[in-house]
Chain A
């Protein structure tokens, strides 16, 4: 069972070392063979230097592509190197490494795609700010309407997929705010998507890449993308 942990990082000089060391410690403890790959999304700070100095495994995008383009690069790498499972794990320290194994186990139990969720079983003390929670809820209702499947944490970037998912995502992955749309894309392809509880933390350093002013337009365009993705017929995508 070959597992790849995809760590997208954009200007994460303060967090990246911590994140990678945590992932490495998980990989040592685990029975599976767990590799990681950092996708440096054209950072303008010292992220790349830190990766070089510490001899980390990384792919450095020659231009900034945005989170979607970076994560997809990881899936392409996973496909090329024949990994069985790919796990998305943010470089900003928000995700808790102890749950990586839970995601992997859930896939071994038969799910094609697992989402680490802040909103089931209340494990996570840090959830989100008020308005963003409302947004996540609205997207959740919309996805339920479109696909008849309840996804609680629609914007979680802590996710894992099996070979089918790797293949699909390597060829199709949204560029901006990709999580909800890509989940609907998998559901439309009749993959089995499940959700397990995870803990998330507030980011230690730096600011999140999502700006509050843009969020209203974000809600609009993500809703449109969900509806349009639902309109594809199977095999058409």
Chain B
């Protein structure tokens, strides 16, 4: 990996980093998830500074090229993230359903008392 590529990648990571910090600060994302994304960025930084780590791991597993390994694991990672998101989505839906039901029952009770 040559120096100009490294600098370019760092520049992109820096932009990502600023974006995440800004999003956390403006409370659009909770601290819990924000810190997770910062952790991912730190991992990426390490990958840029010491690319040999990944090259060694991939040859150890028997991948033909390092990029193959990164794409495969990247895919697994994204799949897992989306799966977690659908779990969280289902939970939200269940909670919202209960809220709508209870609120509507309560509203009906109050309206009945008014009459």
CB-defined contacts of A72 to chain B, threshold 8 Å: 101
B101 touches A60 (CB 8 A): no
Minimum CB–CB distance for A66 against chain B, Å:
9
Query: Interface extent on A, as a size class?
Result: 10 to 19
Interface of B, helix, strand, loop or mixed by DSSP: helix
Minimum CB–CB distance for A178 against chain B, Å:
12
B105 touches A63 (CB 8 A): no
Instruction: State whether the Cβ of A155 lies closer than 8 Å to any Cβ in chain B.
Output: no
Instruction: State whether the Cβ of A59 lies closer than 8 Å to any Cβ in chain B.
Output: yes
B97 touches A69 (CB 8 A): yes
Contact pick for A59, options B93, B97, B105, CB 8 Å:
B105
Instruction: State whether the Cβ of A120 lies closer than 8 Å to any Cβ in chain B.
Output: no
- Complex CA gap A65/B97 in Å reads 7
Minimum CB–CB distance for B48 against chain A, Å:
43
- Complex CA gap A72/B101 in Å reads 8
CB-defined contacts of A77 to chain B, threshold 8 Å: 105
Within 8 A of A (CB), among B85-109: 93, 97, 100-105, 107-108
Q: A170 — nearest CB in chain B belongs to which residue?
A: B101
- Complex CA gap A172/B23 in Å reads 37
Within 8 A of B (CB), among A29-88: 58-63, 65, 69, 72-73, 76-77, 80
- Complex CA gap A175/B100 in Å reads 13
A58 touches B105 (CB 8 A): no
- Complex CA gap A162/B93 in Å reads 28
CB-defined contacts of B108 to chain A, threshold 8 Å: 58-60
Q: A69 — nearest CB in chain B belongs to which residue?
A: B97
CB-defined contacts of A69 to chain B, threshold 8 Å: 97, 100-101
Residues of A whose CB lies within 8 Å of any CB of B are 58-63, 65, 69, 72-73, 76-77, 80, 175
Residues of B whose CB lies within 8 Å of any CB of A are 93, 97, 100-105, 107-108
10 further A-B pairs in the complex, CB-CB below 8 A; given A59-B108, A76-B102: A58-B108, A59-B104, A60-B108, A62-B103, A65-B100, A69-B101, A72-B101, A73-B101, A77-B105, A80-B105
